[in-house]
Amino acid sequence: MNFDKDLDARGLNCPLPILRAKKALNDMTGGQVLRILSTDPGSVKDFAAFAKQTGNELLSSAENNKEFEFYLKRK
Amino acid sequence: MGAIPEIASIDELIQRRLDEILPQRIEQAMQAREEGRTPSMTIIATKGTLDWAYPPFILASTAAALGWDVKVFFTFYGLNLLKKDISDLKVSPLGNPGMPMKMPFGPDWFKSLNWNIPNLVQAGIPGFESVATMLMQQTIKNNGVASIDELRSLSQEADVKFLACQMTVELFGFNHDDFIDGLDFVGAATFLPEAAKANVSLFI
């Protein structure tokens, strides 16, 4: 999947992946896609909730070898 | 002469139709209002140790990232969390049976050991708290957990409002210069009306 910005949140724990993602989204424009890599198992539910609450669309959420990959489309 | 029963039946029709429509309309209007509303949270932070510094800053920064309106009122020992220099925040395992006492280094078997040290011994060893704090700081780093300093600045960047209890400043003999910028020094009377409006209000 194509993305406009990449955020490596691997090794970071709650709530840093969400806070860093929010910060990255702030620098982007509507419709742009942010890819996030994370190792925090809690981030799967957290990113779903974050998307629901903020209106940014979670395009995909996948796990690969204990690493999580999210694609968020900025509102 | 037939006009009177007609009006009565029209009234009845209107009444019946209103009963059908109104609850639906009210429901829709309330839903629209709820969706347009920015959720808000107020927190009272009363503790001044390294461990208890986490909940207010984690919740405040996360809520701000979700787009919520957040205010934190720091009072009593909580005021320590607003000092310019918070590198001296400590954690005390003394009298805290909930705190795991594990080592953040060495081989896995060593890290998984839980050191049950009696309170009496903890209290008697000079510098026990400093060592425990050092170990906690190392554990925090090893686990990719943010520092208090980082969570605090992230909160401020995200427009979390920090309110500092003026009474405590005087009680503990602090100076406004001891604290970070961007604070409002206020009293309970300023905070409570904010808490009354909030969707979530926490005492930590």
CB-CB neighbors (< 8 A) of B158 in chain A: 19, 22
Is-contact B79 B43, C-beta < 8 A? no
Between A13, A22, A40, which is nearest B65 by CB?
A22
Cβ–Cβ gap B58/A14 under 8 Å: yes
Q: How much is the pLDDT for B49?
A: 93
pLDDT for B5: 67
pLDDT string in tens for chain B (204-residue length): 555 668 888 889 999 999 999 999 999 999 988 878 889 999 999 999 999 999 999 999 999 999 999 999 999 999 999 999 988 888 888 888 888 888 888 888 888 888 888 888 888 888 888 888 988 888 888 888 888 999 999 999 889 999 999 999 989 999 999 999 999 999 999 999 999 999 999 999
CA distance B46 to A52: 32
Give catalytic residue positions of A.
14
Closest alpha carbon within chain B to A14: B145
Alpha carbon of B177: minimum distance to chain A alpha carbons (Å): 29
The H or E element spanning position A25 is: helix A16-26
- List of domains in chain A: 5-73 (3.30.110.40)
Of B62, B143, B145, the CB nearest to A18: B62
Q: How far is B2 from chain A (nearest CA, A)?
A: 59
Q: Do B67 and A14 touch (CB under 8 A)?
A: no
Contact A15 B61 (CB under 8 A): yes
| Separation of alpha carbons B4 and B14, rounded Å | 16
Ranges of chain A with pLDDT below 50: none
State whether A18 and B143 contact (CB < 8 Å): no
Q: Are B107 and B98 in contact (CB under 8 A)?
A: no
| Whole-number Å distance between alpha carbons of B78 and B168 | 10
Name every chain B residue with its beta carbon within 8 A of the beta carbon of A15. Answer: 58, 61-62, 65, 146
Using the Cβ of A54 and the Cβ atoms of chain B, whether some distance falls under 8 Å is answered with: yes
Task: Report the pLDDT value the prediction gives residue B81, as an integer from 0 to 100.
Answer: 95
3-class secondary structure, A33: strand
B146 DSSP 8-state letter: P
Helix (H) or strand (E) holding A45: helix A43-54
Instruction: Report the candidate in B59, A12, B140 with the shortest Cα–Cα distance to residue A21.
Output: A12
Taking an 8 Å cut-off on Cβ atoms, the answer to whether B67 and A18 are in contact is: no
The answer to whether the CB of A31 falls within 8 A of the CB of A63 is no
Q: Which residues in chain A have Cβ-Cβ distances shorter than 8 Å to B145? A: 13, 16
Residues 6+ apart with CB under 8 A from B126: none
**Alpha carbon separation from B90 to A3, B43, B51, B137, B204 (Å, rounded):** 43, 22, 8, 9, 17
- Is the minimum CB–CB distance between A47 and chain B shorter than 8 Å? no
B172 in Cβ contact with B80 (< 8 Å): no
Residues of A in contact with B67 (CB under 8 A): 53-54
A65 dihedral zone (left: phi>0; alpha: psi -120 to 50; beta): left
pLDDT of residue B183: 94
Backbone angles phi, psi at A69, to 5 degrees: -130, 125
Cβ atoms of B145 and B136 within 8 Å: the answer is no
